[in-house]
Amino acid sequence: PYIDEDLKEKLMNKEEFYKLCDEMGVDYPKTHILSKDMEIDDFSLMYPVIIKPSNPVLFWSDRFEGMEKVYIVKNKKEFIKVVRLIYSTYYDDNLIIQEYIEGDDTNIWTPTFYSDRNNKVKMMAMGHVLLEEHVPTAIGNDAAIIMEYKEEPLEKIKTFLEKIGFTGFANCDMKYDKRDGKYKIFEVNVRQGRSNYSVTASCANIAKLLVEDRVMMKDIPLVKQSKEIYWHLIPNSIVFKYVKDEEIKEKVRKLIEEKKDVHTFDYAYDLKDNMKRSIYIMLYKVNHILKYKKYMEN
């Protein structure tokens, strides 16, 4: 199930999305809009600042040298260089200039929701990100998560989704701002996340939700994430090496000991008597080790 085209465009276009956040009282980082015909302006934000496209569909319609999913710039010289680079390409829509919220990947949270045919949220879960991918074109993709229920931010986004008449799956990116104790939203994706197996493992089978709501036309009850689990698509060694918070690492160890950990690709029936698949997964994990070494140590 999907929302109508107009609402989809408002959510996917960052500029329009932040206008909705203003209307609904949803917290997001301090943000300015820069257009191609404006004089290059960093809006006097404190560095580092974030630069990202307002129109990601157009931005990702092609590739160019120096392309990154999100640019983190440390000074005005870098700021001007990145803006000029982007606007020297096919991309001609607005840019989002946003304050950088301090903190490593463990300050990032990813809530997921399912809204039924009557625009009522019927499932909500919250993932505490431990590590994201750090390849420039994949920044923001979750690589390790502990599912932890957080009532306040979940209820706030639930209210937002119901007020705008959302239906289907929604996956959000948020960051906890230690300065004011608020969870600040970056975006709402109108789909389940790449890491959605973490949601399945902790509370809800998405296929079951869809069938009961859309095929059987049931009035399904609200499902709240009830189980704390550790999900990852990278080797545990990467998590223990690059996550700095000892308390979080101890929690990961405990969940592993309690067999409350899941890996997207470690599915026994896939790997049984399947040497080719097993070798592929092994190489996949080695490749992640090399990528983290390259992008987090250099």
Residue intervals in the chain for CATH 3.30.1490.20: 30-99
The residue type of 66 is G
User: Max CA-CA distance within the chain?
Assistant: 62
CA gap 27, 74 in Å, rounded: 24
Tokens of 5: 């085209």
The residue type of 17 is F
Q: Check residue 2 and give its pLDDT.
A: 85
Give the DSSP letter string of 185-218. Answer: EEEEESS--TTTHHHHHHT--HHHHHIIIIIS--
Q: Check residue 171 and give its pLDDT.
A: 97
Q: Check residue 20 and give its pLDDT.
A: 96
Q: Check residue 115 and give its pLDDT.
A: 98
Q: What is the dihedral of CA 141, 145, 148, 152, to 10 degrees?
A: -20
What value does the CA radius of gyration of the chain take, rounded to a whole number of Å? 20
Instruction: Please report which helix (H) or strand (E) contains residue 62, including its range.
Output: none
User: What is 101-298's CATH number, 3.30.750.24, 3.30.470.20, 3.90.1150.10, 3.60.120.10?
Assistant: 3.30.470.20
Q: Check residue 49 and give its pLDDT.
A: 96
Q: What is the fold of 30-99? A: Dna Ligase; domain 1 (3.30.1490)
Where does residue 255 fall: left (phi above 0), alpha (psi -120 to 50 degrees), or beta otherwise? alpha
> What does each of the 298 residues of the chain score in pLDDT, given as a tens digit?
789 999 999 999 999 999 999 999 999 999 999 999 998 888 888 999 999 999 999 999 999 999 998 999 999 999 999 999 999 999 999 999 999 999 999 999 999 999 999 999 999 999 999 999 999 888 889 999 999 999 999 999 999 999 999 999 999 999 999 999 999 999 999 999 889 999 999 988 889 999 999 999 999 999 999 899 999 999 999 999 999 999 999 999 999 999 999 998 888 888 888 999 999 999 999 999 999 999 998 7
Q: Coil, strand or helix: which one is 22?
A: helix
The pTM of the full predicted model, rounded to 2 decimals, is 0.91
Q: Check residue 272 and give its pLDDT.
A: 85
Residue intervals in the chain for CATH 3.30.470.20: 101-298
